[in-house]
């Protein structure tokens, strides 16, 4: 059997957008940009199409998908929205916030890993929302990368990871935020729970709801047991190169690192550094650091370093918390 041709990367012309929307409407897969990371999209109401997502990524069936919608009215065909969910959706959508809610009939079990709940969000990226509108379908879309590896934030990242497994990639430029959405569990609105940190802060959600947002301890669900939302595995977003986490590098400590090992600082240091020292932000800005995080991890992974020593970001912002979460999961042992 001849090898499968590599994926084609499409520019977002009107003709290409219409073509890719037809691919989705017919049950195909399209990798497309969101404001968080690139997603591998399929018709969320087509079980066969969604199974193809799991196959392409090598994703276990107990890790559910997020359903993306173009508006709250469409979201209400997917999930049960109580008063709290409507308040949060109207405040933060479109944007990087996923809500876990009781699902409605018609959402395939493969999408929710058999759970009676569904994860749903309305992305702010205009191209992804346009694909939803043109295809006429809500779109299930996990990150467009081999399961467990560093998430993609450019079309080139998708091509390198899934180029031999899928056929269509929409290039919308680098993802603006660079880390996945905040996930808020509102299955029980009296006990709202933050399942994954992202750009929307716990404090902002608490202020809006007037209720404490619970934060569960970080741990993977038991083997074969379905998680209520994606991104909850103890080890995830991981490069092939081993990572160690460092609370903060002290003066002179960088000199003790082997030149065969890379150092990833949060902020650019004020002094000259060696060739094995890198950083996420030149201005100490969490938004810049989050935007560069996955791209930098991929570049370091390609650098044939023996180890990556990653500095934990300072506390104080939602994106710093999200970076800490991703680095912690990336550094977890297999």
Query: Is 21 inside a domain boundary?
Result: yes
Query: Is 2 inside a domain boundary?
Result: no
Would you state the pLDDT for residue 233?
83
Query: Is 199 inside a domain boundary?
Result: yes
Separation in Å, CA 15 to CA 11, 12, 69, 83: 10, 8, 22, 40
Q: What is the pTM of this model?
A: 0.95
Answer left, alpha or beta for residue 29, where phi above 0 means left and psi between -120 and 50 means alpha. Answer: beta
Is the distance from CB of 141 to CB of 120 less than 8 angstroms? no
pLDDT digits over 182-232, tens only?
999 999 999 999 999 999 999 999 999 999 999 988 665 665 678 888 888
Identify which of 125, 121, 119, 144 has the alpha carbon closest to the alpha carbon of residue 42. Answer: 144
Is the distance from CB of 327 to CB of 218 less than 8 angstroms? no
Please tell me the total number of residues recorded for the chain in this structure. Answer: 334
Would you state the pLDDT for residue 300?
98
Strand duo 182-185 + 97-102: pairing: parallel
Is the distance from CB of 87 to CB of 104 less than 8 angstroms? no
Query: Is 229 inside a domain boundary?
Result: no
Residues 170 and 98 in one domain: yes
Query: Is 227 inside a domain boundary?
Result: no
SS3 306: coil
Cα distance between residue 280 and residue 285, in whole Å: 9
Residues 202 and 59 in one domain: yes
Residues 130 and 270 in one domain: no
pLDDT digits over 2-46, tens only?
566 789 999 999 999 999 999 999 999 999 999 999 999 999 999
Give the structural domain span for 41.
Answer: 8-209
Residues 36 and 103 in one domain: yes
Residues 55 and 199 in one domain: yes
Q: Which residues of the chain have pLDDT under 50?
A: none
What CATH number corresponds to the domain at position 162? 3.90.870.10
Residues 24 and 142 in one domain: yes
Number of domains in the chain: 2
Residues 199 and 277 in one domain: no
Residues 49 and 180 in one domain: yes
């Amino acid at each position: 059997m001849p090898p499968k041709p590599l994926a084609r990367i499409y520019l977002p012309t009107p003709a290409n957008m219409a073509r890719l929307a037809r691919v989705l409407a017919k049950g195909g897969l399209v990798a497309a940009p969101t404001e968080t990371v690139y997603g591998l999209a399929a018709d969320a109401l087509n079980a066969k199409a969604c199974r193809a997502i799991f196959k392409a990524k090598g994703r276990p069936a107990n890790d559910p998908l997020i359903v993306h919608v173009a508006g709250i009215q469409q979201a209400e065909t997917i999930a049960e929205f109580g008063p709290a969910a409507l308040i949060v959706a109207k405040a933060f959508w479109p944007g990087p916030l996923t809500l876990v809610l009781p699902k409605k009939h018609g959402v395939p079990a493969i999408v929710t890993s058999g759970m009676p709940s569904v994860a749903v969000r309305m992305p702010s990226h205009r191209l992804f929302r346009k694909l939803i509108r043109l295809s006429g379908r809500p779109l299930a879309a996990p990150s467009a990368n081999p399961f467990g590896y560093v998430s993609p934030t450019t079309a080139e990242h998708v091509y390198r990871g899934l180029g031999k497994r899928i056929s269509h990639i929409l290039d919308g430029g680098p993802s603006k935020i660079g880390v996945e959405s905040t996930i808020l569990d509102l299955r029980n609105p009296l006990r709202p729970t933050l399942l994954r940190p992202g750009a929307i802060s716990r404090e902002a959600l608490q202020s809006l709801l007037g209720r404490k947002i619970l934060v569960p301890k970080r741990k993977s669900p038991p083997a074969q047991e379905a998680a209520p939302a994606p991104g909850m595995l103890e080890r995830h977003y991981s490069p092939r190169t081993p990572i160690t986490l460092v609370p903060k590098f002290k003066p002179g400590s960088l000199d003790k690192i082997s030149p065969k090992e890379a150092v990833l600082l949060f902020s650019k240091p004020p002094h000259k550094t060696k060739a094995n020292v890198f950083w996420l932000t030149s201005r100490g800005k969490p938004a810049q650091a989050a935007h560069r995080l996955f791209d930098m991890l991929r570049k370091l992974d390609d650098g044939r370093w023996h180890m990556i020593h990653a500095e934990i970001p300072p506390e104080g912002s939602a994106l710093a918390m999200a970076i800490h979460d991703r680095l912690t999961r990336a550094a977890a042992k297999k």
